Amino acid sequence: MYTKKVMKHFQKPKNYGEMKDADAIGTAGNERCGDILKIYLKIKNNKIQKISFETFGCPAAISASDVLCELCKGKTLKQALNITAKDISEYLGDLPKLKQHCSVLGKEALKKAIEDYKKN
Amino acid sequence: MKVYLDNGATTKLDDSVTKAILPYFNEKYGNASSLHSKGQEAKMALEESREIIAKKLKARPDEIIFTSGGTESDNLALKGVAQLHDSGHIITTKIEHPAITNTCKELEKQFEVTYLDVDKEGFISLHQLKNSIKPNTILISIMHANNEIGTIQPLKEIGEIAKEHKILFHSDAVQSFTKEDINTKKINIDLISISAHKIHGPKGIGALYVKNKTKLKKQILGGKHEYNLRAGTENVSSAVGFAKAVQVSNKKDIKHMKKLRDYFITNILKIKHTKLNGPKERLCNNINLSFAYIEGESIGALLDAKGICSSTGSACSSKELKASAVLEAIHLPPEYINGSLRLTMSKFTTKEELDYTLEELKKIVEKLRKLSPLGK
């Protein structure tokens, strides 16, 4: 059902875990299937220095979260906001149609985290 | 290690079943409706099979109608009864198999349907059943053992209520057949759906028990096969396999599964925030658990990576992105509903396989909880 790449990021995600000293946190929930994603950011000079996630969800949601973190590393906030659900899906080598919505979730959480950072 | 714990979905053929079926492909391949010796040879095998299956239900052979499986049996029972009426009222439950639920939804165009609630363990209320009966109720359809949470409904009591009000009673017994006793001499029941592939028989064959003199509107038209209730050349090889599977089923296997089931449940509940869905006294091979704060499809995918086949009722895993209707009907708390896992054993399941599953499952739950933002 899933590509090898999805399974790799799902089984061995690199970027998971709570970040105690995060500068910004963003949470997004997908009501369609109940996934919940939390993004933690450490920001320096407008750049994402560290990023991690916590996800409640299916393999697609977890792997998409991990990939989003991977793609965000070292990016400026503006560059990070430009990452699309399609970028994540393509990086994973295509998600099943039914699971495409899982890759949208990460972007929402990231956007919220950056908005949260800008407010403070 | 390879562990198959999805026997509620389907089972492996018993070796004796495979052996029994094979001659009917290239030796005894006659059409059971043909009058020549090749045909009569097949006919005899078909009727012997019917007799074996009838005996298991303490029924008469002419009360067994072979179908293509549980789904067709359910369709024949429900539509077969309903379509003899212009209008009327049907009672079923909120936890039926889609073969019943979706047939009822279709029938709603012409008939009124009541879907009975169930309690936290999945049992219907006999009181609610009685109160739901109307003067125009034509059929009660209540499943025997639930396919997801293993709840076994009291067929005898339901049958008595149906008899008292002179309403036909059907039960989908696909999951319970040969695992639980169903004695049509002792309980009042008019129609029973059963299937072969859940009991180590072949896929593509089932049967509907139709109590003597019960009238049904034929659904598949053609020749006058199956007492003129189901047309189509008889699937003799599969019928032989079905009968063999029934013949080899036994009490010892059930005891074996019950023992393993209780062993597994006791040990898995040691994991914190884990819940058993369904009652303690349940179908012998059914285990349904919910692990709070994590998602069922992820649990299943990690189990699969370790060689363990399971199934889940989580929303993510379904094609409609909807959580299991059964788990919703038992009002499972939200933090538990998407973290469900169904493990269904067979007579081939061993303690070693369950120990391996326990060990891997503990690691998986811990791992996914680390990834989850919930429950912290």
pLDDT (tens place) for every residue of chain B, 376 residues total: 999 999 999 999 999 999 999 999 999 999 999 999 999 999 999 999 999 999 999 999 999 999 999 999 999 999 999 999 999 999 999 999 999 999 999 999 999 999 999 999 999 999 999 999 999 999 999 999 999 999 999 999 999 999 999 999 999 999 999 999 999 999 999 999 999 999 999 999 999 999 999 999 999 999 999 999 999 999 999 999 999 999 999 999 999 999 999 999 999 999 999 999 999 999 999 999 999 999 999 999 999 999 999 999 887 777 767 789 999 999 998 779 889 999 999 999 999 999 999 999 999 999 999 999 998 8
Nearest by CB to residue B372, choosing from A11, A56, A98, is A56
- Average pLDDT of the segment spanning A15-28: 95
User: For chain A, which residues make up each domain, given as ranges?
Assistant: 4-119
Q: Which residues pair with B64 in a beta bridge?
A: B209
- CB-CB contact of A58 with B295 (8 Å): yes
CATH code at A4-119: 3.90.1010.10
Token readout for B25 is: 């492909």
Report d(CA B272, CA A18) in Å as an integer: 21
Q: How close is the nearest chain A Cα to the Cα of B325, in Å?
A: 14
- CB-CB contact of A108 with A39 (8 Å): no
Report d(CA B165, CA A103) in Å as an integer: 55
Q: How close is the nearest chain B Cα to the Cα of A94, in Å?
A: 17
- Given CATH 3.90.1150.10, say whether it is the number of domain B250-371: yes
Using H for helix, E for strand and C for coil, what is the string for chain A? CCCHHHHHHHHCCCCECCCCCCCEEEEEEECCCCEEEEEEEEEECCEEEEEEEEEECCHHHHHHHHHHHHHHCCCEHHHHHCCCHHHHHHHCCCCCHHHCCHHHHHHHHHHHHHHHHHHC
Are residues B295 and A98, on separate chains, in Cβ contact within 8 Å? no
Report d(CA B5, CA B346) in Å as an integer: 8
Torsion of CA B178, B183, B187, B188, to 10 degrees: 90
Non-local (6+) Cβ contacts of B316 within 8 A are: A33, A34, A35, A57, A58, A60, A61, B295, B296, B297, B338
Are residues B373 and A38, on separate chains, in Cβ contact within 8 Å? yes
Pairing of strands B340-344, B286-291: antiparallel
Asked if A66 reaches chain B (Cβ–Cβ under 8 Å), the answer is no
For B210, phi then psi, to 5°, come to: -125, 110
Asked if A96 reaches chain B (Cβ–Cβ under 8 Å), the answer is no
Active site members of A: 33, 102
Are residues A57 and B319, on separate chains, in Cβ contact within 8 Å? no
All residues of chain A having their beta carbon less than 8 Å from the beta carbon of residue B372 are 54-56
The CA–CA distances, whole Å, from B66 to B61, B62, B72, B76 equal: 11, 10, 10, 11
In chain B, CATH 3.40.640.10 covers 15-248
Averaged pLDDT score across all residues of chain A: 90
Residues in B 154-173 with any Cβ partner in A closer than 8 A = none
pLDDT digits (tens, 9 = 90+) for B172-224: 999 999 999 999 999 999 999 999 999 999 999 999 999 999 999 999 999 99
Residue A2 pLDDT level (bands cut at 50, 70, 90): confident
Nearest-Cα residue of chain A relative to residue B336: A34
Are residues A36 and B373, on separate chains, in Cβ contact within 8 Å? yes
In eight-state DSSP terms, residue B124 is P
Question: What ipTM score was computed for the predicted complex, to two decimals?
Answer: 0.93
Torsion of CA B265, B195, B60, B233, to 10 degrees: -170
Asked if B302 reaches chain A (Cβ–Cβ under 8 Å), the answer is yes
All residues of chain B having their beta carbon less than 8 Å from the beta carbon of residue A33 are 314-316, 321, 338
Distance of CA B54 to the CA centre of its chain: 18
Asked if B376 reaches chain A (Cβ–Cβ under 8 Å), the answer is yes
Report d(CA B334, CA B94) in Å as an integer: 18
In eight-state DSSP terms, residue B6 is B
* Residue in B329, B316, B344 with CA at minimum distance from that of residue B147: B344
All residues of chain A having their beta carbon less than 8 Å from the beta carbon of residue B376 are 18
Asked if B10 reaches chain A (Cβ–Cβ under 8 Å), the answer is no
Q: Which fold has domain B15-248?
A: Aspartate Aminotransferase; domain 2 (3.40.640)
